[in-house]
């Protein structure tokens, strides 16, 4: 997935049950590129707390 501009990714998993006791997991087997900033979040369970992550991109050159 290649996101640009204002792209964000909200990953919601285990949505068929509430968060308490929910043992759902997830695996991502592909590159995910998002713009820097508060652009990635996860939520486990239909009533789970949204957890936000800050994406940091680094470019190095010689």
DSSP the chain: -B--TT--EEEEE-TTS-STT--------S--B--SEEEEEEEESTTPPPEEEEE-------
Q: Is residue 39 part of a domain?
A: yes
Neighbour count for residue 29 (Cβ, 10 Å): 4
Specify the pLDDT at position 58: 66
pLDDT the model gives residue 33: 92
Is 22 domain-assigned?
A: yes
* Residue 13 belongs to a domain: yes
Residue 30 belongs to some domain of the structure = yes
Confidence (pLDDT) at 17: 98
Does 3 reside within a domain? no
The pLDDT value given to residue 13: 98
Q: Assess if residue 1 is contained within a domain.
A: no
CB-based contacts of 37: which residues, under 8 Å, 6+ apart? 54, 55
Q: For the chain, what percent of residues have pLDDT higher than 90?
A: 90
Count how many domains the chain has. 1
Q: The whole model's pTM is what?
A: 0.84
Q: Would you say residue 6 has pLDDT above 90?
A: yes
Q: Residue 57: which pLDDT band, with cuts at 50, 70 and 90?
A: confident
**Segments forming the whole domain that contains residue 19:** 9-55
**CA-to-CA distance for 20 and 44, rounded, in angstroms?**
9
């Amino acid at each position: 997935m290649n996101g640009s501009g204002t792209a964000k990714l909200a990953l919601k998993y285990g949505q068929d049950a509430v968060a308490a006791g929910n043992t759902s997991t997830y695996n991502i087997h592909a590159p995910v590129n998002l713009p820097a900033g508060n652009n990635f979040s996860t939520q486990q369970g239909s009533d789970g707390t949204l957890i936000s992550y800050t994406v940091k991109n680094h470019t190095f050159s010689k």
